[in-house]
Structure 1
Amino acid sequence: MGKDVNIITDLDENRFEQEVANRHEPALVVLKADWCRPCRILMPTLEEVARHYAEQVKVYRVDINESPALAGRLGARGVPTMCLFVDGTLEATRVGALSRVQLHQLLDEHL
């Protein structure tokens, strides 16, 4: 089987309500930017973690340059920022390129 390219879904303001805010399934929304080196470093680790938790949480990626209103709504003060939603409610926010262990701790704590 080939590489699962859709393990992380791109998200924008238009789809946020239906994909995250109005759903009961847990969602991890990662705010990132192409120019952000820590964001680029985080992505392979995030993909691994997304695969590991595929049955428990949906992972979304938001480009802050393409969706500045959504980034503002989620309170992004830096990138990368991870926002974990459970039942459509923001449960936790982390800023910075978390390690694999830190990502697992964040998800395990809230799922």
Structure 2
Amino acid sequence: MTYAVLVTPAAKAEIYEFIDYVANVKQEPLNADRLVDVIDEGILSLRRLPQRCPHPPENDLVPFEVRSLVLKKTLVVLYHVNEERQRVEVLGFRHGRRSPLDLSSRQGEPS
């Protein structure tokens, strides 16, 4: 089964903020470009078998199931699998060393 993938505005903003940080604060624009590809490919991989990924700490903080796709050992894509609509809803993005995100208001957020 193939799922549709929806990236919420909040998740997009977190991804853009991280890429901007790498490109402009760390002054590593080539690395930022590579990270865009890694993140895009990772998110698109959720179209198939999205249940393969584990539950992050955020899962204990909300009344719906959250899973996490870890990219490059430290980048965490947080998402919910909506079986009824057969879609993956990307709810957030964070570096693995950062505190868990409050995802309580993000489920089903329109893109």
Using structure 2 for the length normalisation, give the TM-score: 0.32
Bigger Rg, which one? 2
